[in-house]
Amino acid sequence: MQVRPLSSPPSSLLLARSLARPPSFQAATTGEWRRPSPADEARACSRHNPEHGDLGVARFRPICRMPPHKIETGHQDVVHDVAMDYYGKRIATASSDNTIKIVGVSGTSHQQLATLSGHQGPVWQVAWAHPKFGSLLASCGYDGRVIIWKEGAKPDEWIQAHTFTEHKSSVNSIAWAPHELGLCLACGSSDGNISVFTARADGVWDTTRIDQAHPIGVTSVSWAPAMAPGALITAGASGQFEYVQKLASGGCDNTVKVWKLQNGNWRMDCFPALQMHKDWVRDVAWAPNLGLPKSTIASASQDGTVVIWTEAKEGEQWVGRILHDFKTPVWRLSWSLTGNILAASDGNNNVTLWKEAVDGEWQQVTTVEP
């Protein structure tokens, strides 16, 4: 499972970017979520792998010390994903029982608020949109559907605002774009394609596609920061920053690819594809760069390795180096808000935190115990 915040939530939550989900919920196959005892400054949440049902990883955030407590989700099957909303008041959970649960949380108390039924198979992921767009939740599942849920006028009422059925196979990964780019959702599917849905002012959704991005299946998608690399250095006197639309994707072809939207079309922005893994890429995570020139992507693989890919300047070649060989599949990755700490979750149910030293070497900071 994974937990995710959006952008920059209130400082009291200290959530780390859209992939470092607010967390610390560890799932049990009974449909229960437990918050482990805090360890140092960070926690991670585990995610069940959609294919094997194994506990994989997810996301982490710094949290304050609080007593352990348990959240009953009410699911009747394995829980695959959890996402906390921007304000830390509600969590959404996705399960193999084909439903999504909305649970209100406050301190150590919680309350089941709603059950969302719309998928015809296991639900793999859920993702909250930035609150500037209202109370919206996206979900994807084995049935190939992507559903946008909108909170209704009545308390705890949710309606299906839009359903996308473009994909003919399981949709494995969804990610909202940085809010500066508008209401925009990327989806990766087992049919090999990536779809990007963008809402217009009139409520109509435009669709762009990356056909056969990974011909034998897309496993993960991750947005680049909206601010172009080096924007802090190149910004003019007006202080206006250039925004870019870029995506990283991982797939069953063992590769990582970078895509850029140019003149309304998505084009591959790395040649050749980034190849260092010897098995499926399970997750990709684009690091925040705070407007500095260097871009960084982390990728995790079934082969047990995590690779750090860096592009020193826009347009230069991506260079990869192995962070560590975990000797077991690595399921999920998550960057801290400033992009200097990486959390990795592996097949042994361990979550480790890594930080780049001044000499460029990556060092393990700590292990977060379950």
Predicted structure pTM score: 0.80
The structure tokens listed for 341 are 């700490």
Q: Is 302 in contact with 347 (CB distance < 8 Å)? A: no
How far, in Å, CA of 248 to CA of 224, rounded?
7
Cα–Cα nearest to 126, from 213, 47, 183: 47
The CATH number given to 26-368 is: 2.130.10.10
Domain map of the chain by residue range? 26-368
Which one-letter DSSP state was computed for residue 292? -
Q: Give CA separation, 76 vs 28, 79, 94, 123, 170, in Å.
A: 11, 9, 11, 13, 21
Give DSSP secondary structure letters for 247-260: EEEEETTS-EEEEE
What strand order describes the sheet that includes 99-106?
A: 79-84, 90-95, 99-106, 109-117
3-state SS assignment for residue 235: coil
Contact 274, 257 (CB under 8 A): yes
Give me the tens of pLDDT residue by residue for the chain, a chain 370 residues long.
444 333 333 322 222 222 233 232 333 333 443 333 333 333 333 344 444 343 323 333 333 444 446 788 999 999 888 888 999 899 999 999 999 999 999 887 899 999 999 999 999 999 999 999 999 999 999 999 999 999 999 888 999 999 999 999 999 999 999 999 999 999 999 999 999 999 999 989 999 999 999 999 999 999 999 987 766 656 555 566 778 999 999 999 999 999 999 999 999 999 899 999 999 999 999 999 877 788 999 999 999 999 999 999 888 999 999 999 999 999 889 898 888 899 998 999 888 999 988 888 899 999 876 6
Residues near 83 by beta carbon (within 8 Å), at least 6 away in sequence: 2, 3, 4, 21, 91, 92, 125, 126, 127, 128, 137
